[in-house]
Amino acid sequence: MTALLDPTDPRPAEQTSEPRRSGPLSRRNLVATITTGYLPILLATAVVVLPLVWMALASFKSPGELLTQRPSVLPDSFAPTNYTDAARSVPFGRLFLNSAIVTVVGAGLKVVLAVLTAYALVFVRFPGKRIIFILVLATLMVPPQVSVLPNYVLISSLGGQDTYWGIILPGLGTGFATFLLRQQFLSLPLSILEAAEIDGASHWRRLTRIVVPISTPAIATVALVNIVFEWNEYLWPLVIVSDPHMMTLPVGLTLLANSESGADSYGIVMAGTVLVLVPVLVVFAAFQRYIVSGLTQGAVKD
């Protein structure tokens, strides 16, 4: 049956039909996708990546290639001269060992403490639990620079200057990791934990056999964030360490910049910077897939 037109409708017959929608590959949609999607991503990537690429290429350039009015993108040769000069000026082997020890021990203890704290805040019944969680969140609002002086007075009085434990101890409490894991633990099905409790499983058994295996992506995210933070930490090791053999890599980079202060030493400083960045970039690239899944897995309302 054909629909009858309303004689009182002032619109023409061709205007009563719905307008045609543009296809997904139409010119309008392609322009909108490029301008609002790909173009901002390319610009953001260029802002982040191009300085790193230039730094890596500059680490192979000679002073004459860097201090010129006609700079070139690629170096004349990829001889590691700047890297050998940087290793000769600063003991990067010792600094790498110090950073590795501080990063592994510090990040490992942070993850363990965050897992235990988050489990207690979610699954253990005790008075004042919400107040404790609010205090943990309050630590996220305090800049870390505020606690440098009290920590220095405390650690120095305990004899922690130029020691590994003096570098690691003040940063063991992390509110971000506790908050993230608490949100993840809240999303776990309570029926599984209640069944384990009925079967007589202790808190430790429930934590190690149920909570931790299910929350592996979130725990890996916390571990990765702490590894990057510990490796790049600069202010506190600079304050508490004065012995060059106990410095970490970021502080050793400052030592290299001070020893090679001339304009002709830009390539050596760039080489030292690459040595500092490459290990953490490799770790981040290997475990970056856990970040999105770990950050979104615990996205629940309290």
Our count of domains for the chain comes to 1
> Looking at the domain assignment, is residue 71 inside a domain?
no
Kindly provide the b/e burial profile for residues 237-270, where b requires at least 16 CB atoms within 10 angstroms of the residue's own CB.
bebbbeeeebbbbbbbbebbeeebeeeebbbbbb
Residue 196, domain CATH = 1.10.3720.10
At 125, which helix (H) or strand (E)?
none
Residues 6+ apart with CB under 8 A from 178: 114, 117, 118, 121, 136
> Looking at the domain assignment, is residue 177 inside a domain?
yes
> Looking at the domain assignment, is residue 79 inside a domain?
no
d(CA 163, CA 155): 10
> Looking at the domain assignment, is residue 216 inside a domain?
yes
> Looking at the domain assignment, is residue 45 inside a domain?
no
d(CA 178, CA 208): 17
Dihedral over alpha carbons 248, 250, 252, 257 (to 10 degrees): 180
> Looking at the domain assignment, is residue 265 inside a domain?
yes
> Looking at the domain assignment, is residue 77 inside a domain?
no
Query: 299 to each of 90, 179, 213, 295, how far by Cα in Å?
Result: 45, 11, 18, 7
| DSSP track, 76-90 | S---THHHHHHHHHS
pLDDT tens, per residue, the chain with 302 residues: 444 445 555 555 455 455 555 566 677 777 777 787 788 888 888 898 888 888 888 888 888 888 777 777 788 888 888 888 888 888 888 999 999 999 999 999 999 999 999 999 998 888 888 899 998 888 888 888 888 999 999 999 999 999 999 999 988 878 888 998 998 898 888 888 888 888 888 889 988 889 998 888 889 889 988 998 999 899 999 999 988 889 999 998 888 888 776 667 788 888 888 988 888 888 877 777 766 665 555 444 44
Residue ranges with strand state E in the chain: none
> Looking at the domain assignment, is residue 116 inside a domain?
yes
Whole-prediction pTM = 0.78
Give me the domain span that covers residue 240. 91-297
